[in-house]
Amino acid sequence: MTAFTIDREALKNAALSCVHCAMCRQALPSLTKSNKFADTCPSGLYFNYEAYYAPGRNEIARAILRNEYPLEESEKLKEIIYSCTTCGACEVNCRYICDTNILPVRITEKIRAILAKMGIGPLPNQQKFANYVKKYNNPYGESTKRNSWVKNESILDKEKAKYFYFVGCTTGYRLTPVAEATVKILDLTKENYTVSSQEICCGSPLIRTGQLDDVERLVQQNLEVIQRLKCKIVLFSCAGCYRTVTKDWPEILGKPLPFKTMHMAEYLANKLKKFKFRPMKMKVAYHDPCHLGRHMFPNQIYNEPRQVIDRIPGINRVVLDREMDATLCCGAGGGVKAGMPDYSEYIATLRVEEVRAKGAEAVITPCPFCIRGLTDGAKQEAKNTGLNEIKVMGLTELVIKALEGK
């Protein structure tokens, strides 16, 4: 395995490449449908100050990397650096208008790693991720058996299955209905699959918050579990786990993965001909998770989940003003939900307001973290308006309801 390394010179040059054009503050006109819903930078929306947008963080990164001022414990510095949800909206616009994308999310994550090494970051509730992962192998501090929600023990730790369903911490400990719906679908399609009792955290919470010391162990241990079971495809219902394993693991390992990765949105789209959906009369919106979209460039997963939703009879899917590359983050990414819950909820509430403006009664997303964030936003939005709460549902949950006629 290759250790995490930070090329400070390359990072400094990337930060210096930012020309502060401010084009990353809003979605490009070609990517959105209204001025009202054009803002795409969560921290810029909330804090409304230059330092909280990508150019401001790039300037701070430049100063840190040039040793222009002595680094010390600073609540304001931590607030600025750790308020980024790492959604990648800034990178989209930079990619559209520049010959060289400076990858501001990568810069922010590397600066977080530098601060964490110096003991300056991360935020207190984010520090718990590393402590819990080291002790319990999950960022929630859960001491219970992994994937204890599994009722059919014959699928546990089965060798030579075609699919290894990597459940993830959020789905496995906090949103088990998403996992239960996923295995129901795999049972209905008669797939040969397994769920592991030995799976541990993929490392995403630590990578996003710059706490890298334990990440290589997590990758190696998970890799050994998957290879021991001799599975060909690793399947995910979590966008964050999918992104981390597909993009971060090969970088950490220094070589390609010995298996293929697939998100359930792709799996469902591939199996549409096998499904016999029953009518569901619902007006819904679809929320793009950042980790399935912008983070996966150039292989974004945008069309597949929409194809699945649109195949269900009676479903009316409205188009939001901010979708695909221009989507607004749910506000829960990059450790923000744990570190700055009020700000996270504010962004989620704005997203739900956009769903409400289109007349949808529910929002569908294939990311458990988005489900958690948007659910909090839906509760707050309903409290603010006095209207019925917008439903938030996972993609696999919607599919199993349509298959079972519920």
Q: Does domain 127-270 have CATH number 3.90.1180.10?
A: no
Distance CA 179, CA 394 (A): 10
Model confidence over 51-65: pLDDT tens digits?
Answer: 999 999 999 999 999
Average pLDDT, integer, range 167-190: 96
The pLDDT of residue 19: 84
| pLDDT beyond 80 at 12 | yes
| DSSP H/E element including 394 | strand 391-394
3-state secondary structure of 380: helix
Supply the DSSP symbol for 259. S
Q: Supply the DSSP symbol for 29.
A: G
pLDDT at 294 > cutoff 90: yes
Other CB atoms within a 10 A radius of the CB of residue 80 amount to 19
pLDDT in tens, 14-54: 888 888 888 888 887 777 777 788 889 999 999 999 999 99
Model pLDDT for residues 117-172, shown as the tens digit of each residue:
988 889 999 999 999 999 999 999 999 899 999 999 999 999 999 999 999 999 99
| Residue range 279-284: mean pLDDT, rounded | 94
Instruction: Decide if pLDDT at 73 tops 90.
Output: no
CATH for 275-404, options being 3.30.365.10, 1.20.210.10, 2.40.50.140, 3.40.50.11810: 3.40.50.11810
pLDDT of residue 98: 74
What would the mean pLDDT of 237-244 be, rounded to a whole number?
97
Classified as helix, coil or strand, 144 is coil
127-270 shares its CATH topology with 275-404:
yes
Residues written for the chain: 406
Beta carbons within 8 Å of 323's beta carbon, 6+ residues apart: 286, 288
Q: Where do the domains of the chain lie?
A: 8-124, 127-270, 275-404
Give the burial string for 280-292 (b: 16+ CB within 10 Å, else e).
Answer: eebebbbbbbbbb
Q: What does the alpha-carbon distance between residue 88 and residue 168 come to, in Å, rounded to a whole number?
A: 22
Calculate the average pLDDT of the chain.
Answer: 93
**Bridge partners, residue 260, by sequence:** 233
Report how far residue 198's alpha carbon sits from residue 219's, in angstroms, rounded to the nearest whole number.
13
pLDDT at site 99: 67
Torsion angle, alpha carbons of 265, 271, 275, 280, to 10 = 20
pLDDT at residue 1 is higher than 50: no
Residue with tokens 């929002």: 363
3-state SS class at 193: strand
Comparison of pLDDT for 268 and 19, the residue scoring more: 268
Query: Does pLDDT of 299 surpass 80?
Result: yes
Average pLDDT over residues 319-347: 95
Question: Would you state the pLDDT for residue 223?
Answer: 97
* pLDDT per residue as tens digits for the range 366-385: 999 999 999 999 999 999 99
Rounded to an integer, what distance in angstroms lies between the CA atom of residue 249 and that of residue 238? 16
